[in-house]
Structure 1
Amino acid sequence: MANTYSQLYIQLVFAVQGRESLVRKIWKDELYSYIGGIIINNQCKPLAINGMPDHIHIFIGYNPTVSLPGLVEEIKTSSNKFLKAKYKTSVFNWQRGYSAFSYSRSHVDAVIKYIMNQESHHQKHTFKEEYLKMLTDFEIEYNDNYLFDFQTISNWDI
């Protein structure tokens, strides 16, 4: 075959270190835009980026020539540096680890809608409930000792 063709969709989910509610509403759009730029620079396509003060969902059209762990590491490292430099937020870090879930093309619109409606979704479900449901739905075995440190989500306006 002369060329390689793929159609891969991945949702990434990871939390702020200690599950602290540090993603501030006043700069989240700029953060998400910055992360979108990282994704584009890594030859992937950002489809939806949104979250809550303590975690983020990133949905991408994935390019299989890119290392997924490398992409996540770059997103975390670069966005940490960006926030610390721009907003002087020395306490901000992403938690170690992440989850990656794959989807078919037929699910793209629903996943985008789900990610973009995080605020209303989390009025009904906690992050813990959401995350455990995703792991269960995708039949991913997990150890309770290595799940996120779940804390109460605080107000957006911190």
Structure 2
Amino acid sequence: MSYTRIWVHLVFATKNRTPLLTKEIRYKVQNHIIENCKEKSIYLQIINGYTEHLHCLISLGKDQTIAKIAQLIKGESSFWINKNQLTEEQFIWQDDYFAVSVSESNLEIVTKYIKNQETHHAKKSFDDEVKEFEKLYGF
């Protein structure tokens, strides 16, 4: 039997970073993504976000890729959002995403960071966060 432990911090945004994820919608979407991940054997440690983006901390399985996981989460959730008419306009995730590896020693820090997104974004915009990630990770 193969064993893997590859943690990935995955971030993705709404199309054009439109703030469609109100608190009520965001919680519904997050809960749906949690259930969808369980059904698809995606190990999701934590999910949270703000009005125009979501953060996920995922442990990849031995046959999973970041691209496939992002496709499964984003594609299925946008379909579900539109099917349930949670937004007035058609909901679309941006094509791109941000993904970086996370070491076991940093799991608690990243988990806390994702958990505190509302507090974090009361002080810092998502655009500023993206610029910070780009600089930090050399994108």
Partner-residue secondary structure (3-state), 2:123: coil
1:134 paired residue number: 133
Greater C-alpha Rg: 1
1:84 to 71, 82, 85: 82
- Structure 1 or 2: larger helix share? 2
Amino acid at match of 1:72: A
- Counterparts of 1:68-147 in structure 2, within 5 Å, are 68-89=66-87, 90-140=89-139
What value does the CA root-mean-square deviation take over the aligned residues? 1.5
Aligned CA distance change for structure 1 residues 73 and 58 (closer, same or farther; 3 Å): same
Letter in 2 for 1:139: G
Q: Secondary structure in 2 aligned to 1:94?
A: coil
Task: Name the aligned partner's letter for residue 95 of structure 1.
Answer: Q
Q: Which residue in 1 is equivalent to 2:24?
A: 26
- Cα distance in 2 for residues equivalent to 1:115 and 1:88: 23
- What stretches of structure 1 move > 3 A for 4+ residues in a row? none
Which residue in 1 is equivalent to 2:9? 11
Work out the number of aligned pairs and report it: 138
Q: CA deviation at 1:88?
A: 5.0
> Could you report, residue by residue, the CA deviation over 1:43-89 in whole angstroms, capped at 9, with x for unpaired residues?
22111111111111111122131132122112111111111122353
The CA distance in 2 between the partners of 1:63 and 1:83, in whole Å, is 26
Identity of aligned residues (%): 28
Match of 1:40 in 2: 38
- What does the per-residue CA deviation read over 1:26-53, in whole Å, with 9 as the maximum and x for residues that have no partner? 1222211111223223322111111111
SS, match of residue 101 in structure 1: strand
Q: Which residue in 2 is equivalent to 1:146?
A: none
Q: Distance in 2 between matches of 1:64 and 1:136?
A: 30
Per the TM alignment, residue 92 of structure 1 is displaced from its structure 2 partner at its CA by 1.1
- 1:147 paired residue number: none
Are the equivalent residues in 1 in contact too, given 2:50–2:118 (CA < 8 A)? yes
